[in-house]
Every structure is written in C-alpha cells, then in structure tokens.
Amino acid sequence: MLQLSGEKFRLHDAYDRLIIEPSVGADLASIEAKASRIFGISAYEVAHSTKPDLRHITDLSSRLLKASGIKALRINSHRSYKQFKFDSMDIIHKVAERASSLGIEPRVKGFDGEIFISVTKEKAFVFVNKRKGAGGLPVVASGKCIVLLSGGIDSPVAAWYAMKRGLTPVYMHVHGFASNKEAQESKIPRIISILSGYWPGQRTYYIPSHVFQMAAIKAKAGRYELVLMKSFMLRLARQVAGKEGADCIVTGESLGQVASQTLSNIAAEEDAIEMPILRPLIGFDKQEIIRKAVEIGTYEQSIRPYRDVCSINARNPATSCGVKVLRGIAKEMKLDAVVRQSLKKAQVQ
C-alpha cells in the first residue's frame, strides 16, 4: 500500500480481510489517518487481538466496553474458523452477560454502539464501532488521467473525485511565471502534496503560458482569449496524455460557473481533442465545492493568493464562442504550433 509508505507495519491477508499489524514503535495515529484515505476501502476497524477462546474474547470485550461509553449494545460475532468447540452464538451470549454486568444493555435494535468479534484460527479480533473509509474504487483500477490543475479551489477537488473512481492522476499546471522554477516554488506543490495523501508518487508537468499569450496578442484574440486559453490547455493535456499513456483528461469545470464554462464555450474548447474529458464537478455549486475542499484538506492552500493564468486572461470574456469562431482564431494564431513550442518548455517533477 503506497499510502502507508514510511510507516512501520506488517500486512497480512486473512481470508476475508487485510490486516495491518503495527510494528514496535509504529505511529498508530498516523497509520489510521492514512488508512482512512485509501480509496477502495468502504470501512475499516481499529481492532485489538487476543487468543481465540471464550475467556480471552470476553475479557478483551469487557475492557473495550468499559472505555466505550456505550449504554445499549449490539453484539456481532463472526467465526471464520469453524473447528472450535464454541460458535458465534456462544460468543454473543458470553459477551452479553459481561456487558449486562457492566450496566450495558444488549439489544438487537435501538442500540447506540456495536462491538464486533471476528475469530480466525490464530487470533480473535475485537473492535468497537466501524470507521468509515474513503470508499470508491482502488486508484489504478480505472486507468490514468491528466488533471488540469490550477491554483484555485475547484481542480484539486476534481482530482480527488477522479482518484475516488479509480483514476491515477498525472497533474498538468500551466502557469504565468517567468520560469518553471517559480511555479515549483509556489503553492502548487503544496496542493499536490495534500492530494498525495490519497495517492502518492504523481508526476507533474509545469508548462509556461507566455508562448500562448504572445500568440494571442498577435492574433488580437481579445474577448476570446479565455476560451482559447482553455482550448490551449486541453490540447496540451492531449499531448501529455500521449506521453503518459493516459486515457482521459479531468478538469474542475462546473457548468455556468465562469465565462469559460458556459455550454457554448465548453463545446468550442473541447473541439478537436478526440479523447474523453471528465468533469466531476459539472453539477456542483461553489459552496458544495468549497465544503469538499475543506473536507479533503486543500482549501487553505487553494485560497492563498496566486497569479492564475485563467484569472489573468479573464478580462470581459466572451460567454458564447461557437466552434467555428474558435477554429478560425486558433488557425490564425497557429494554436497547435503554440502547443508544441510550449511543451518543449515544460518541466516534469
């Protein structure tokens, strides 16, 4: 598990589950925090283990229940190794008796907490309440994507949703700095570092925008500059996808949120891309996106001041640029040649 890299643990395949066993000196809080961010896991448990016999199971259950604060308890027992003389009902009866002696009422309905006992051949695992996992699909299950990562709030959230559906991200950031080094020293690597908590080891393409901007000025793009910029980014992403073996492009667009995200402009921007463009946030409003950004931890970095190229070019932008109009201007400014020149100036980190 790449997400647990650097932690001290052993991983066991125990028939119907994976068991992370912390080693001596392990940081338990860090392991749990990282485990909670692994996509493909719907729930996980922080369990204590003991010998697989009724007395040890009951004693361990008692200790955990004393510290739980539970008043009404549901008892769940599963015995994957069937050769023991006791069965799951025997476990439930013994733990119910001990719970009653502690002033905790065993119930099937109307409970405020649960205890889970899982018995294997070698050990019994006992835990109180399940933790919710990240859910979704394991990253790499759905292929690779190129994420258009800006300095704003939306695109990191889109990247998170792409990873949740099993896509491995490769980030592409188009910047307005004089050099790639300045972009690499900005907040962008810090945003990527937060996203790396969900899937580490991503590659990032830093690409300057000045070749495009000079061509747009020469072609007198004017009100269409923002739509052309987005088309430029998508064409860049298509080329990067070819280099990386990626299957699609992911953007943080939300329909109608800004000028470049009207339906007419989206249609014009994606003309000639010829590969899937996924927009996980297309139906989200801004507050929904902000709430998710706060939840996944990217919000504080995303709101830090930054010279984002989309903001730089958003002066009185056209909200309805047809495909024919964009094709004409793109041809005049030789947009595909601009893409090739810009890629030569890219730096991969």
Among 220-229, 251-260, 291-300, 319-328, top mean pLDDT goes to 291-300
Interatomic CA distance for residues 126 and 17, integer angstroms: 14
Interatomic CA distance for residues 154 and 285, integer angstroms: 10
Q: Is 237 in the same domain as 275? A: yes
**Domain end marker among 132, 162, 180:** 132
Among 8-17, 183-192, 255-264, top mean pLDDT goes to 183-192
**Domain end marker among 111, 132, 153:** 132
CATH number at residue 31: 3.30.2130.30
> Does residue 91 form part of some domain?
yes
The answer on pLDDT for 1 being more than 80 is no
The answer on pLDDT for 311 being more than 70 is no
Question: Cβ(71)–Cβ(85) under 8 Å?
Answer: no
> Does residue 301 form part of some domain?
yes
Q: Is 101 in the same domain as 245? A: no
The answer on pLDDT for 64 being more than 90 is yes
Q: Is 263 in the same domain as 148? A: yes
The answer on pLDDT for 314 being more than 60 is no
The answer on pLDDT for 234 being more than 70 is yes
pLDDT for 310: 73
Angle (deg, nearest 10), helices 154-164 and 286-296 = 70
Q: 166 vs 180, 249, 314, CA distance in Å?
A: 30, 14, 33
List, in order, residues 6 or more apart from 27 with CB less than 8 Å away.
Answer: 7, 8
Q: Is 153 in the same domain as 128? A: no
> Does residue 185 form part of some domain?
yes
The answer on pLDDT for 12 being more than 80 is no
> Does residue 183 form part of some domain?
yes
Select from 46, 65, 136, 54 the least CA-distant residue to 103.
Answer: 65
Q: Is 116 in the same domain as 244? A: no
Q: What is the pLDDT of residues 68-113, one digit of tens each?
A: 999 999 999 988 878 898 999 999 999 999 999 999 999 999 999 9
Q: Is 218 in the same domain as 342? A: yes
Domain limits for position 93: 2-132
Six token digits for residue 301: 């970095």
Q: Is 214 in the same domain as 241? A: yes
Q: What percent of the chain has pLDDT over 70?
A: 97
> Does residue 41 form part of some domain?
yes
Q: Is 151 in the same domain as 118? A: no
> Does residue 271 form part of some domain?
yes
Q: Is 59 in the same domain as 118? A: yes
> Does residue 138 form part of some domain?
no
Q: Is 128 in the same domain as 151? A: no
> Does residue 42 form part of some domain?
yes
| Stated pTM of the model | 0.88
The number of folded domains in the chain is: 2
Q: What value does the mean pLDDT of the chain take?
A: 91
Q: Is 223 in the same domain as 318? A: yes
Phi, psi of 142, deg, nearest 5: -115, 5
Q: Is 82 in the same domain as 171? A: no
Question: Cβ(128)–Cβ(64) under 8 Å?
Answer: yes
Q: What is the pLDDT of residues 119-158, one digit of tens each?
A: 988 889 999 988 889 999 999 999 999 999 999 999 999 9
Interatomic CA distance for residues 123 and 142, integer angstroms: 36
**Domain end marker among 94, 112, 132:** 132
CATH number at residue 309: 3.40.50.620
Q: What is the pLDDT of residues 22-42, one digit of tens each?
A: 888 888 889 888 889 999 988
Interatomic CA distance for residues 209 and 217, integer angstroms: 12
